[in-house]
Each structure stands twice: as C-alpha cells, then as structure tokens.
Amino acid sequence: MIRDTLVAARNAAPASAAATATGATIGGAQQRPWLDPAAQPYVRIEGVTKRFGPATAVDDVSLSIYRGEFFALLGPSGCGKTTLLRMLAGFETPDEGRILIDGADMAAVPPYERPVNMMFQSYALFPHMTVEGNVAYGLKQEGLPRAEIRDRVAATLDLVEMGTFAGRKPHQLSGGQRQRVALARALVKQPKLLLLDEPLAALDRKLRERTQFELVRIQERVGITFVVVTHDQEEAMTMASRLAVMEKGRVRQLGTPAEVYETPSSRFVADFIGSVNLFVGRVAAAQPGAGGGELVEVAVPDLGDTRVAVVADKGVALGAEVAVAVRPEKIALAPAGGGTAGQGGLNRLAGTVSEIGYLGQISIVHVELPNGTVLRASVANAHRISEPPFARGDAVVLSFAPESAVLLTE
C-alpha cells in the first residue's frame, strides 16, 4: 500500500504554479481548515515552555497545525523556532505544556517511536553509502523485506527526480542533489509529520528559489504534513500555507503569508517581514472612514506639522503612541510638482532621491526628506528601460493612500 501511495504520488500531476505561489494549497486543493470550527488539528502544541538554565527558549507557545499543511516557524536566530522543532521530534522535552500528534500525547513517546521524521540542515548523509543506500538505510533498520525496500526506494527517488543518481556517492552530487536525497530519505518511511530544519540554507539563491516550489509540489503529492524552520522570510512566504513569526521564544503573529505581510500585528513583525517604512507618533484626530473603519491622523514629530493618515479597523484613543507602517510598493513616486496627493492633502511628502538600487523587475528608491528621514519606495520596471526612472538628486513627491498603511499599537 505504501508503495502504491508513492507511485501514485510520483505519477500525479503537479499543482499549478499559481496555486503554489499563494502558499494556500493543502493536499492539492484550496482549503483553509483553520477557519473551520469543526476541523481537528493534526498537531497541537499547548502552552509549551522550554528553559535552558535561566534562559527561556520557548515561552508558553500554543499552536494548531492541520493535516496536509505546509507550516513555517519563522524568526531570527535565537527566537526558539529550532527548539520547538526539536521538541516535536522528541529530541527535547518541554518543561511545561504538552504536544499531541494525531490526537496522541507525545510526552512519554521517544523520538524513534514518534510518527515523525526530520530533515536536518546539514543533510547528514552517509558519505560511504550510495544514494540508494542512504535512502534505504532506515527501512533496512526496520527489517523490511528486500523487495519492498527496493520498490519504495525507487519510487521515492523518482519522486524527487533522483532515480538516475541512485548509484552515486554524496561527494559526487551537487548541493541541490544532496538536498533531494536527504528529502527522499525522510519521505521513504512515510512519516505522518515531516520536520525540516533550514532545509535550503546550503543552496545558492537561484537553486533555493527553484527548490522552494519543488518542495511544495512534492508535499502536495505525498500529502504529508510539513513543518519547516527558517529565518528566510521570502522562503517561508513562498512555501507555507501559514506561518508563525517568533521572537524571544513567543509567537508574535500567526497567519497566512498574505495576512502577516499585509496586516502585521506589531512593529517587530512589520519590520521583520519584508521592507517597511515606519512613522512613529501620536493619534491627533480620528473620524469615521468613507469605506468603513476609522480614518486616523497621526502627528509624527519627525515630519514637523505634517500628519500621516491611516484607515484603522478599530478605534484608538487620542494621544496614544502608535506607528504607521507603509510597504515600499504602496508608495507612489513622482517628480516634484506631480504625483497624487493623499486624502485631504495628507500622506504627501516632498524629498530628494538619495539612493537608487536597480534590481531588474523593480528599482528601490531611497528618498531623503528635509529633516533627514529616509523613506523607501519601490518602482516597478514594467517596460524595458536603459536607465532607472529617477536619478540621485531628483526632487520628488511621494504619496500613499490611507488604506495602504497599517496602524500598529505594539
């Protein structure tokens, strides 16, 4: 039956690039089980805390991960994401809380008896074994019949497109090929849960980008729940159906990639995920917005008498200290004397281009305001150009709609 599953997965049609790019495909279909009150989580992490001496690595974390999800734990070094992954694998024991997989409490279950497999950052391949031998090793340890081992290994290597390299040794493979072998070795035992610790860190940028989509394709085919640890925001947003952003052992925000990017819950999340401009000030005025919500005006000391307008979902007290986050791509840039003013003349700032970074598909433009504040705007290069659309020293006007900004109270 396991062999049939692998063969069927090998022959299944790959998911469309559009579906993969959204990070919302689970088990080959567009689903969001976390929105269904009746759906049962496949992995439950309940109030888990882990300490190492006086340091708290994981602090009262609770998460629900659903069957077939590609879930990402994202955060800077030292945030606790790898410790949490190791507790799922059974290599570390929680000091408080509990972990359940498929309804079973893992407290007394050793690593080798858990329905889990882990793909390590180093890949940890046996250098003296062939590709086939590496993938077969775990099955041989279980004492499975030779014919079954041969069939399962062949089907799994085909799944990761490494069947023609079965006789090679690890030193004869590229970094990307070794990564595929490590993945095959993890998949061949058909775990209920696959844990991946920085799986693409050793790959160069182009190969890493391509492999991200390949991992999602493979995960959709086999239907196994993946939990990946990474510090790479782009990697997490490309692959994950949902992600948990961690800081200092705690989960700061949980949501889909689009939710976390477009509506960050705090300055930390806004700044960690992608690039952002932050205006820090105090609420000076608020009134009902034309399309719902509240139109909040924030007095920003660094901008002098200029106020920044933002549409907020909920009311904020006058005088409260807040931050307004604006992504570079939400800012319109025009030569001085042009541009589109924000609502009521708000969100319109004049400055001078100080730096330009040409990245092919976009140009990153740094604009210095009269007070020395530097804002970042991105300009899409939709047409072939011989020179960037702006030059250093150009006087420009930047503007953004209140609906494009996010009000942050943390």
pLDDT tens per residue, range 17-26: 333 333 344 4
User: Which residues, in sequence order, are bridge partners of residue 350?
Assistant: 397
Of all residues in the chain, what percent carry a pLDDT higher than 90? Answer: 49
Name the one residue in this structure whose structure tokens are 């993945």: 183
Overall average pLDDT of the 203-221 stretch = 81
Overall average pLDDT of the 336-356 stretch = 73
3-state class (DSSP) for residue 98: strand
Query: Can you tell me the distance from the alpha carbon of 174 to that of 340, in angstroms, rounded to the nearest whole number?
Result: 51
Query: Can you tell me the distance from the alpha carbon of 190 to that of 187, in angstroms, rounded to the nearest whole number?
Result: 5
> Among 57-66, 187-196, 379-388, which is the least confidently predicted range?
379-388
Q: Are 124 and 199 in contact (CB under 8 A)?
A: no
Overall average pLDDT of the 137-152 stretch = 88
| pLDDT beyond 90 at 253 | yes
> Among 24-28, 149-153, 235-239, 277-281, which is the least confidently predicted range?
24-28
The pTM of this model reads: 0.83
Closest CA to 183 of 211, 151, 150, 148: 211
Overall average pLDDT of the 105-126 stretch = 87
Stretch (H or E) spanning 343: none
In the sheet that 43-52 helps form, which strands lie side by side, from edge to edge? 55-65, 43-52, 96-101, 104-105
Question: Across all residues in the chain, what is the average pLDDT?
Answer: 85
Q: What are 186's two structure tokens?
A: 């993890």
What's the pLDDT at 176?
82
Q: What is the dihedral of CA 113, 216, 65, 8, to 10 degrees?
A: -60
What's the pLDDT at 209?
81
Query: Can you tell me the distance from the alpha carbon of 297 to that of 215, in angstroms, rounded to the nearest whole number?
Result: 44
Q: Are 26 and 239 in contact (CB under 8 A)?
A: no
Closest CA to 400 of 271, 338, 308: 308
Overall average pLDDT of the 161-189 stretch = 87
State the pLDDT confidence band at 222, using cuts at 50, 70 and 90. confident
What's the pLDDT at 14?
35
